[in-house]
Amino acid sequence: CLVFNIDTPFVKQQRKIKGSEVVSWSKGVLGVAQKPVVISGPSGVGKGTLIAKLMKEYPSKFGFSVSHTTRSPRVKEIDGVHYHFAGRSKMEQDISEGEFLEFAHVHGNLYGTSIEAVESVTDEGKRCILDIDVQGARSVRASSLEAIFIFVCPPSFEELEKRLRARGTETEEQIQKRLRNARAELDQSNSPGLFDHLLVNDNLEACYENLKKLLSLDDDHKDSDGCFIEDGKATACYSI
């Protein structure tokens, strides 16, 4: 099986401490396996909705990287399916022991992708989808895991707020925090060399078709209005 060096911060730190070569390896995410897909974007933009559509249409092609988080489960969220809901001290310990590919503090909670989360998808022969924040995307970019990076934008800030409220899963205080963070995340979507594609989620079906096009799942190149993709260098997708 194919192995490659996963240069996580833990591996780099161990190399420094030990002053010798430290190699950590993972399997199956390089070579014949298709590149994992990293999807980022502000809270409420529709990342989960798009990913759910993709997984429903292509259950044997894609697998979701189930992250760990210290946030409380929402109604209908299942432990081990949507997230691995974890205690902070246990998660911090696992991070310090090098079990995570990346982690970040987001909206006041700790989130992270364990190496096992990615491997369990690739072990099934599926293409891995990661729903992670911009900091996480940066960490994965800096690691040797080659992936495709997609940032999902809302058509406007007002629409983002509307969706977040309509979802009804957060308190007013949490909504305000997520909206504040959204501005910073939207600014960072333009960081040079970070995202390969910006996808505007205005009309859901049009956006989904464009996502499929990006992933070469749709080769009939249908026109889609209300949603566009920028290849290569990310440029502002709209102004707030």
Q: What is the DSSP string of 171-228?
A: -HHHHHHHHHHHHHHHHHTT-TTT-SEEEE-SSHHHHHHHHHHHTT---S----SS--
Active site residue 163: no
For ligand GDP, which stretch binds (CB under 6 A), given 4-12, 104-112, 141-149, 190-198?
A: 104-112
- Could you identify the residue written with the tokens 């559509």? 53
Integer CA distances (angstroms), 147 to 93, 112, 137, 156, in order = 27, 17, 10, 27
Integer CA distances (angstroms), 50 to 145, 158, 201, 239, in order = 23, 20, 9, 23
Q: Are 198 and 153 in contact (CB under 8 A)?
A: yes
Residue 177 contact among ligand GDP, ligand ADP, none, beta carbon within 5 to 8 Å by kind: none
Identity of the residue numbered 89: S
Q: What part of residues 185-204 is at the interface with ligand ADP (CB under 6 A)?
A: 201, 204
x/- site string to ligand GDP, residues 83 to 102, per CB under 6 A? -------------------x
**Which residue's CB is nearer to ligand ADP, number 143 or number 201?**
201
For ligand ADP, which stretch binds (CB under 6 A), given 36-44, 54-62, 106-114, 179-187?
A: 36-44
Active site residue 74: yes
- Tally the C-alpha atoms within 13 A of residue 211's C-alpha that lie toward its C-beta: 31
Binding status of residue 112 toward ligand GDP by CB under 6 A: yes
Q: What is the largest CA-CA distance in the chain?
A: 56
Active site residue 178: yes
Which residues on adjacent β-strands are paired with residue 112?
A: 68, 103
Binding status of residue 46 toward ligand ADP by CB under 6 A: yes
Q: Which of 15, 71, 74, 183 is catalytic?
A: 74
For ligand GDP, which stretch binds (CB under 6 A), given 108-116, 188-196, 199-207, 208-216?
A: 108-116
Q: What is the C-alpha radius of gyration for the chain, rounded to an integer number of angstroms?
A: 18
**Which residue's CB is nearer to ligand GDP, number 132 or number 206?**
132
Q: What part of residues 118-177 is at the interface with ligand ADP (CB under 6 A)?
A: 163, 166-167
For ligand GDP, which stretch binds (CB under 6 A), given 5-13, 16-24, 91-99, 105-113?
A: 105-113
Binding site for ligand GDP (CB under 6 A): 40, 43-44, 48, 67, 71, 102, 104, 106-107, 111-113, 131-133, 135-136
Catalytically active residues are 74, 167, 178
